[in-house]
Amino acid sequence: MFLSIVLIARDEERYIGGALGSAAPLADELLVVLDPRTTDRTAEIAREHGARVVEHEFVSFPRQRNAALALSRGEWVLFLDADERITPELAAALRQFCSRREHEHVGYWLPRHNLYFGQLLHGGGWYPDGQLRLLRRDSAHYDESRLVHELVQIDGSTGELPGHLLHINIESWPELHTKQRRYALAEAQTLALSGVRAKWRNLLLQPLREVNRRFVTWHGYRDGTLGLALALTMGYYELIKYVHLKALERSR
């Protein structure tokens, strides 16, 4: 078996059908590693698309991805999120990749387009937003100390495939705030585990740096009013991250 396309999921009935539909023509195996706390039709929809569904207790995202690597059967694994789609251009590149039996690298980056409120973003760090997702299964492992924005460790070199993933990222402001609150806490926990201590100046300077980075350095201004709103939002949650880190320090 050559290519497993793998999703980790919880309560993704809204999106997972589209992800699996874009992946099914390319995969020798479709695998969904499901959080047992799921209460919706995610598993049923996945099986309707021909996926093998395996429940695995969720501890953290990197641990879940390592479990998915162990459960998959393909020589190569492509990780796909439920709110992502394989574009026709990327599908063509993957077909060409699968037709070859010798490959120069053991991991491949995929550029990713992000949709926010239906708008395709061009700046602010949202593009090209490369994702290291196509992995030789026996050469990859996720760093379990990093609780969010998982870091995969590769035993070998990496390259890049043409084509894009499409990320249907955010469709409403409440959805954005829910997601960023979760990320802010997880990022604070990761910093605490690595021994980083918050300084009071971080509460002012880090949010300002984040806004400047998103809007100026990374050209978020190219996305107009939405680019500014997102830069300010990311700056606010940088503040929340350091507030969480201070709270974690006091609770020790």
pLDDT at 101: 82
Per-residue DSSP letter, 75:
S
Q: Between the CA of residue 201 and those of 34, 51, 233, what are the distances in Å? A: 41, 49, 19
Q: How far apart are alpha carbons 162 and 93 in whole angstroms?
A: 6
Banded model confidence at residue 24, pLDDT cuts 50, 70, 90 = very high
pLDDT digits (tens, 9 = 90+) for 99-134: 998 999 999 999 999 999 999 999 999 999 999 999
Task: Tell me: pLDDT of 55 over 80.
Answer: yes
What is the architecture of the domain spanning 3-169?
Answer: Alpha-Beta Complex (3.90)
State what percent of residues in the chain have pLDDT above 70.
100
- pLDDT per residue as tens digits for the range 192-240: 988 999 999 999 999 999 999 999 999 999 999 999 999 999 999 999 9
Q: How far is CA 174 from the centre of its chain?
A: 19
Quick one: tokens of 152? 């995969």
The per-residue pLDDT for range 134-191, each reduced to its tens digit, is 999 999 999 998 877 789 999 999 999 999 999 999 999 999 999 999 999 999 998 9
The mean per-residue pLDDT over the stretch 38-62 comes to 97
User: Which residues, 6+ apart, have CB-to-CB distance to 11 below 8 Å?
Assistant: 35, 38, 39, 40, 42
pLDDT-above-90 percentage for the chain: 93
Q: Cα(241)–Cα(186) distance, rounded to whole angstroms?
A: 8
- Sketch the domain layout of the chain as residue ranges: 3-169, 172-251
Q: Where are the alpha helices (DSSP H) in the chain?
A: 16-23, 42-48, 61-71, 88-99, 173-193, 202-212, 224-251
pLDDT at 100: 92
pTM for the full predicted model: 0.90
What pLDDT is attached to residue 241? 97
